[in-house]
Structure formats: C-alpha cells, structure tokens
C-alpha cells in the first residue's frame, strides 16, 4: 500500500517517538527528510550532537562516512541508514591508495617519518585509522586552516587526502606551496601534497558562472564552499564551510543579492529572496538525494520488527584508531 508524503510523515513521527529512535539528517538531504529530523547539521555537528542523545538507535540520513563517524565516536549506539549512500569523494581513496600515496612520496626521497597525513572528514573510517597510525588526524572544511597551522609546527610535510581542492585552497589562503599527486610537480617543493580526489557536486561551478552573475547583478556577492576549484575560490567574495556559509548568508541585509556555490537543497532553504545558485545546472548531491520518506519509514518498520536493516558496523581496531584521528582534531 502506497502512502502520501503527509501520511508517511505522521507515521514516522509517531514511530520514532514510540520506538525511541533519533532521526539525524545532513543539510544536503531533501526538504521532506530534513523536516522530520531531530538533529540536523554538517557532518561533524551531527556526530557531536548525537553523542549527547540518549536513544540507542540513530537513524542516519546522510552518506556512509557520516554514519561511520557517529559509530566511531559513540560505539554503544546502533546506527542504521535508510540508504547506504556513498560520498563520491570518500570513495576515491581507500587504504591501498593511501599506502600508494606514501610510497609515491618515498620514491621522491620523502620518508614516512617526515610526513604528517591529514584526512578531510569526508573519508571512510579505515582511511581515518591509517592516518592516525601515522600520527595524523582529521580536519573539516571549517577547521582545516587551524589543523594545518598546528601540523606545520612539527616541521613536516603534509599529505592531505582525499580532497585536492580543499588542500590547495587552504595552501593558497596560508601562502603555502601545494601540489597534487600525479600533476608532474616534484612533491619535495610543496608544503602540502594533495591526493587527487574531489567532490563531483562542487566541481559544477565555474569562473564563467561567477562572471555571468557579476554582469547580470552588479554588486552581487559570491559565496562558495572550499571543495570548489581553487580558481572559483580565488574569484569569490567569501569561502566557507557549510556552517560558515549559512551564518554568512543569514547575516546579509535582506536586499543584498548573493550567488552561492554549494549543494542545492541547503542553499534553497536559506533565504526566501536574493539568493541564487551559482550554476546553470542543479547542484544536488545524487547520493544524499537518494533517501526518501518511504526509506525512513521502512527503516523504522525494520526496527519495530526487531530486524534492523543497513546497520553500520566498524571493525574494533579501525574504530579505535579512527576515533584517535577524530579526537586529535577535537583536541586542537
């Protein structure tokens, strides 16, 4: 039997209360899913806020590495996902590619003990664990500059995975030299050596889009996420993480036009007027958009039937080391 969205919403609200399940949703989720969540935020906010929640079951609407982060930080929780959706960027690196990157540096006479690896939070738990075992840590787009500043004080080169754009953008902001593995540059000349991963959604914005909006609406501001290409970030008025973008845009005067280079669902609910998407295409994250109200309902139904589906499990050793990588970041 098919239910309407309103019927599904009513059922979900009744079931999550009765079954003591906390629904968590990332900012990039569809509006109807975002609306029924108890906790919303960016990836780190979600993992942190969920730690303080009393319910045993967390129904996580987001992508795989985010659900893993909740499990890593709070292993006693049972984390289930309506869809085991993957982040395209997180899938671009695994532990073998990480080892190959370290070998690439060794071939250029850069010893592992002279390298400090930093992984963007958008990576799977096994990669975070690898990074921790080499003395490294996690960063987010909001704190990457702080983390890299501290890391450089150790006098080491930084291996930054998996997002080349974030690594290069931070290097540009800090006046540091960067390179991307495989771009032909000698890594000995770089302070930050970036792995060649990227976010497919944030690659949709172009310098031509910025020129278009500046010509069409003189005085418009351009605000973008640091997962965008360095050329876009250099041409923008503001570069910030998801939470920083939200705060920046909400603080603008109502008549100030702004074009935003990040995911569509989040931008679309920020402001009623004078906010534009910095692209002629709709920059939706396909995997974030996979989760529907029906998926949420079926996941709750499986909990009710005592047969939970899509539960996240993390190997004990991986959990321990991935937590160390996250804790090192939080300590800074």
Residues near ligand SF4, by CB under 6 A: 28, 63, 87-89, 122, 199-201, 263, 285, 287-288
In the bound complex, what is the minimum distance in angstroms from residue 202's beta carbon to ligand SF4? 6
Nearer to ligand SF4, 115 or 285 (CB): 285
Query: Of 121, 153, 117, which Cα lies nearest the Cα of 135?
Result: 117
Nearer to ligand SF4, 27 or 98 (CB): 27
Residue 312, Cβ neighbours under 10 Å: how many?
A: 21
In the bound complex, what is the minimum distance in angstroms from residue 244's beta carbon to ligand SF4? 15
Residue 234, Cβ neighbours under 10 Å: how many?
A: 13
Strands 21-26, 39-41: parallel, antiparallel or unpaired by DSSP? parallel
Nearer to ligand SF4, 89 or 303 (CB): 89
In the bound complex, what is the minimum distance in angstroms from residue 259's beta carbon to ligand SF4? 18
In the bound complex, what is the minimum distance in angstroms from residue 285's beta carbon to ligand SF4? 3
Nearer to ligand SF4, 122 or 299 (CB): 122
Nearer to ligand SF4, 88 or 176 (CB): 88
Nearer to ligand SF4, 57 or 65 (CB): 65
- Beta-carbon contacts of 286 under 8 Å, excluding residues fewer than 6 positions away, are none
Q: How far apart are the first and last CA of the chain?
A: 52
In the bound complex, what is the minimum distance in angstroms from residue 131's beta carbon to ligand SF4? 18
- Beta-carbon contacts of 235 under 8 Å, excluding residues fewer than 6 positions away, are 207, 210, 222
DSSP letter at 25?
A: E
Nearer to ligand SF4, 22 or 287 (CB): 287
Give CA–CA dist 158/120, Å, rounded: 12
In the bound complex, what is the minimum distance in angstroms from residue 84's beta carbon to ligand SF4? 13
User: Taken in order 232, 237, 239, 243, is the CA torsion positive or negative?
Assistant: negative
Give CA–CA dist 313/217, Å, rounded: 50
In the bound complex, what is the minimum distance in angstroms from residue 186's beta carbon to ligand SF4? 29
Nearer to ligand SF4, 242 or 319 (CB): 242
Give CA–CA dist 205/197, Å, rounded: 17
In the bound complex, what is the minimum distance in angstroms from residue 329's beta carbon to ligand SF4? 18
User: Taken in order 293, 295, 300, 305, is the CA torsion positive or negative?
Assistant: positive
- What is the CA 20 to chain-centroid distance, rounded? 27
The Cα-based distances of 295 to 82, 102, 133 in angstroms read 5, 40, 37
Nearer to ligand SF4, 12 or 227 (CB): 227
CB 266 within 8 A of CB 249: no
Give CA–CA dist 325/129, Å, rounded: 7
In the bound complex, what is the minimum distance in angstroms from residue 19's beta carbon to ligand SF4? 27
């Amino acid at each position: 039997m098919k239910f309407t969205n309103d019927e599904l919403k009513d059922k979900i609200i009744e079931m999550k209360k009765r079954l003591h399940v906390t629904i968590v949703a990332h900012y990039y989720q569809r509006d109807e899913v975002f609306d029924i969540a108890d906790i919303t935020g960016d990836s780190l906010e979600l993992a942190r806020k969920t730690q303080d929640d009393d319910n045993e079951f967390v129904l996580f609407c987001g992508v795989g590495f985010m659900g893993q982060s909740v499990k890593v930080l709070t292993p006693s929780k049972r984390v289930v996902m309506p869809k085991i959706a993957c982040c395209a960027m997180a899938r671009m690196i695994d532990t073998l590619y990480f080892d190959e990157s370290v070998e690439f540096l060794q071939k250029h006479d850069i010893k592992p003990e002279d390298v400090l690896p930093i992984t963007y939070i958008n990576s799977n738990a096994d990669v975070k664990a690898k990074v921790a075992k080499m003395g490294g840590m996690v960063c987010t787009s909001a704190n990457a500059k702080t983390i890299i500043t501290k890391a450089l004080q150790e006098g080491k080169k930084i291996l930054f995975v998996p997002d080349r754009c974030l690594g290069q953008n931070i290097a540009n902001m800090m006046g540091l030299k960067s390179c991307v593995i495989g771009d032909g540059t000698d890594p000995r000349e770089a302070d930050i050596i970036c792995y060649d991963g990227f976010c497919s959604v944030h690659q949709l914005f172009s310098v031509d889009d910025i020129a278009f909006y500046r010509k069409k609406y003189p005085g418009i501001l351009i605000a973008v996420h640091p997962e965008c290409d360095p050329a876009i970030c250099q041409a923008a008025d503001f570069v910030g993480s998801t939470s920083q973008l939200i705060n920046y845009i909400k603080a603008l005067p109502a008549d100030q036009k702004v074009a935003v280079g990040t995911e569509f669902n989040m931008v679309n609910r920020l402001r009623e007027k004078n906010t534009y998407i910095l692209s002629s295409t709709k920059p939706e994250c396909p995997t974030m958009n996979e989760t529907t109200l029906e998926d949420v309902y079926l996941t709750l139904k499986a909990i009710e039937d005592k047969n939970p589906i899509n539960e996240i499990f993390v190997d004990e050793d991986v959990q321990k080391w991935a937590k160390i990588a996250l804790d090192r970041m939080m300590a800074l």
